[in-house]
Amino acid sequence: MAETSPTDLKTTPLFGRHQAIGGRMVPFGGYCLPVQYPPGIMAEHKWTREQAGLFDVSHMGPSFLVLNNPSGDAEADHAAISAIIEPLICGDIAGLKPGQVRYTLLLNEAGGIIDDLMVARSPKFAGSLYVVVNAGTKEGDFARIAAAAGDRAKLTRADDGALLALQGPEAVGVLASLMPGVVELGFMQYGPYQCQGQTVIVSRSGYTGEDGFELLCPAPFATTLWDALLADPRVKPIGLGARDSLRLEAGLPLYGHDLDETVSPIEADLGFAVSKRRRDAADFLGATRILAERENRPSRIRVGLIVDGAPAREGAEILDASGNAIGVVTSGSFAPSLGKAIALGFVPPAYAAPGTKLQVSVRNRAQPAEVVPTPFVPHRYFRKAS
């Protein structure tokens, strides 16, 4: 229970704010970030589901990939910038509409996942993409994208700014009081909005399963924006602990835990992220394996489990009904909204059907577990008819 020293860790522009309100600071992805505030993970989690939670996610990797010599023809320029990033990922970027955000995967030659990320087409500028990658993988990801761009495009990192997430059913009402235009955004759409004379890049997205927004702003504006959002009584600051329990209930995999370089999109049950146009063309890294797994079956697949008893944590063995080891838990926790333990893990497809009775080994004792559909808690995204 030693206090964590921030030595050698990077801080975000909001470090002082976290300390001032009693954030318990821990190392995460090379940054010193709050795991919780005084109310604690349970209260923070429930507040986000009921009201609006404000998260500092400035450790993540926002960036812009911009064509060096745009032609001025918006469609041609978008096709050109898409052609640069598409070979690295399995998503259809060429088909994005202006302002549309897509969840996709960076792949290696074996079809394993190097990272999961967001790629979005600028609503305003031709030949410009907004790309957000994970904290722990961002150096490698950025190097990979910059190398692919060569002298055709320039990757500009924006991770010296602040990235905030405002999540929960009240998020839209809160944010609209500062930036009324955001109500026009549907889930997975983004755009630039003005707030007190500053430009904030607002995306209607997040990783909690709730409606909400992610906000990129320049570092000097971060505390002003943070304070303005927290001034609304519907908003409370939420730490990394509740961020993790919220995303787990939403059935969303976390890179470095549920996803790694050995796991394919099909194994990870992220087949939706392999876009149809790309499948038909089989023009992405690892296509042979990924298409074969899609056609036949992978040797393992990610499932959701409801666990009876103590939470089964990452690394716990999954057993069949007779006690044979068949898989492993990759994320597991207590689900505050459900009042019971849940987990994500990998099992052979024969054990992946919802309703299958399995067991998990916790401290060398077998506990009952059952395969259930994910999300564990229904998503409440705000989708707009297009």
Partner 1 sequence: MTTRFTPDHEYIRVEGSTGIVGITNYAQEALGDIVFVELPSVGKALKKGDEAAVVESVKAASEIYAPVSGTVTEVNEELSGNPGLINADPEAGGWIYKIAIADAGELDGLLDDAAYADLTK
- The site for partner 1 (CB under 8 A) is made up of 1, 35-36, 40-43, 45, 241-242, 244-245, 309-311, 313, 333-334, 336, 341, 363
- In the complex with partner 1, the residue whose CB is nearer, 256 or 271, is 256
Burial 193-219 (b: 16+ CB within 10 A, else e): bebeeeebbbbbbbbbbbbbbbbbbee
- In the complex with partner 1, the residue whose CB is nearer, 222 or 240, is 240
Least distance from partner 1 to the Cβ atom of residue 50, Å: 17
Sequence-separated (6 or more) residues with CB below 8 Å from residue 377:
49, 209, 249, 250, 335, 337, 338
- In the complex with partner 1, the residue whose CB is nearer, 41 or 67, is 41
- In the complex with partner 1, the residue whose CB is nearer, 90 or 246, is 246
Least distance from partner 1 to the Cβ atom of residue 311, Å: 6
- In the complex with partner 1, the residue whose CB is nearer, 35 or 164, is 35
Q: How far apart are the first and last CA of the chain?
A: 51
Least distance from partner 1 to the Cβ atom of residue 330, Å: 16
Least distance from partner 1 to the Cβ atom of residue 151, Å: 46
Least distance from partner 1 to the Cβ atom of residue 43, Å: 8
- In the complex with partner 1, the residue whose CB is nearer, 34 or 91, is 34
- In the complex with partner 1, the residue whose CB is nearer, 92 or 244, is 244
Q: Which two tokens stand for residue 183?
A: 């109500």
What are the CA-CA distances from residue 179 to residues 110, 200, 203, 228, 282 (Å)? 44, 9, 12, 11, 42
Q: DSSP for 365-381?
A: EEEEEEEE-S-SS--B-
Pairing of strands 325-335, 340-347: antiparallel
Least distance from partner 1 to the Cβ atom of residue 126, Å: 45
Beta strands in the chain (DSSP E): 24-28, 31-36, 52-56, 61-67, 101-107, 113-121, 128-133, 153-157, 162-167, 190-195, 198-203, 212-217, 235-237, 301-307, 317-319, 325-335, 340-347, 357-362, 365-372
251 conformational bin, left if phi > 0, alpha if psi -120 to 50, beta if neither:
left
- In the complex with partner 1, the residue whose CB is nearer, 27 or 192, is 27
218, 198 in Cβ contact below 8 A?
yes
- In the complex with partner 1, the residue whose CB is nearer, 22 or 378, is 22
- In the complex with partner 1, the residue whose CB is nearer, 41 or 254, is 41
- 76-82: long-range contacts, CB 8 A cutoff, minimum separation 24: 77/126, 77/127, 78/121, 78/126, 78/127, 80/127, 80/152, 81/127, 81/128, 81/129, 81/153, 82/129
Q: Which residues is 189 bridged to in the sheet?
A: 100
Least distance from partner 1 to the Cβ atom of residue 343, Å: 13
Centre a 10 Å sphere on the Cβ of residue 137 and count the other Cβ atoms it contains: 21
Least distance from partner 1 to the Cβ atom of residue 310, Å: 5
Least distance from partner 1 to the Cβ atom of residue 41, Å: 4
Collapsed DSSP state (helix, strand, coil) of residue 237: strand
Least distance from partner 1 to the Cβ atom of residue 222, Å: 26
